[in-house]
Amino acid sequence: MKKPLIKVQPAANAGIDCTNSRRNFLKIGSMAVVGSGFLLACSSDDDMLNPPVQPGAPFDLGSGDLGILNYAYALEQLEAAFYTNVMDGAYWAGANAEERLILEDLYKHEVIHRDFFKAALMAAANGNADVVLPELEFDFSSVDFGSRDSVLGTARILEDTGVAAYNGAGSLIQTPDYLVIAGKIVSVEARHAAAIRSIYLEDPKAFAGDDVVDANGLDLALAPPAILNAVKETGFIKTEFTANQLPTG
């Protein structure tokens, strides 16, 4: 595991027990945590155009809806980068027709999501690139792109994490149009997650298995600090950034 470089620093009074029991990203599939248990005392600053902090400091995702869009952009950058590597790997080159087709589509969809967020963020920021998350650098040296297990196992985690992240962020969004956009994307992530689980796991019920859907029939939902800490644990993201001002509810 690479040294984690993302600094996730939720507001001191905002992150009540959001991370302690959820350190192991690889176990994220067994977690079913609803954002509603995530209480807060600070009100988020809605000013989307906070000036960036001093030069040299790590980028902060920002506050309000802009912060949430940057957060989603970070996750989509991660997914897009992962599948770009998959497409260059030996496993994909030799996989069966269905698995090749599925992974190629996931690659396309995630790159489209990434590019969409970049454009949407530039628009939301009125063209001020200083408040838009830069292109991140990644390190996938812990993934063996020649191995079916490594590729599909990582894909499963990333897709389930994407579902949990969007579900947990929905209530933090203030602009209806953004909520609809998030909804348009999360269901595609859930379609991905089901397909990957279906081809990778033996259990014919794994597409919506009991490890991700609870007794009420509810999918995963995790607040940003839990997601970012889980992502940090993977060591996939090399570029340092902070999430100090994200809305908390």
Partner 1 sequence: MNILNFLEEFTSENLVNKTSSRKDALKTFGSLSKKALLVSIPFGLAGSSKAYAFQDQNAATGALQLALTLEYLEAEFYRRALDSGVLPAGSRAEAVYQQISKHETAHVEFLKAGLGDNSLESPQFDFTAGGAFDPFNENSTGQEVAYAQLLALAQAFEDTGVRAYKGQAGNLMGTAFLTPALQIHSVEARHASEIRRLRADVMGYDLDQNALGWITLDNRGPGMPEATAAVYEGEEQITQGGVNLVDATAFDAIAVSQAFDEPMTGQKASEIAGLFIVS
Binding site for partner 1 (CB under 8 A): 34-36, 46, 48, 64-66, 97-98, 101-102, 105, 108-109, 111-113, 115-116, 119-120, 122-124, 126-128, 163, 166-168, 170-171, 174-181, 183-195, 198, 204-205, 207-209, 213, 215-221
Report the distance separating Cα 193 and Cα 200, nearest Å. Answer: 10
CB of 115 to partner 1, least distance (A): 5
Closest to partner 1 by CB, 60 or 235? 60
Nearest to partner 1 of 11, 201 (CB atom):
201
The answer to whether residues 227 and 168 touch, using CB atoms and an 8 Å cutoff, is yes
Nearest Cα residue to 63 out of 54, 55, 75, 71: 71
Min CB(196)–partner 1 separation in Å: 9
Closer residue to partner 1, CB minimum distance, 5 or 34: 34
Exposure class string for 34-51: b at 16+ Cβ within 10 A, else e: ebeebebeeebeeebebe
Task: Tell me how far, at minimum, the Cβ of 239 lies from partner 1, in Å.
Answer: 20
Residue 64 zone, left/alpha/beta (φ > 0; ψ -120 to 50; rest): left
Least separation in angstroms between residue 109's CB and partner 1 is: 4
Nearest approach in angstroms of CB 210 to partner 1 is 9
> CA-to-CA distance for 198 and 245, rounded, in angstroms?
37
Q: Nearer to partner 1 by C-beta: 6 or 68?
A: 68
Dihedrals phi, psi of 204, to nearest 5 degrees: -65, -10
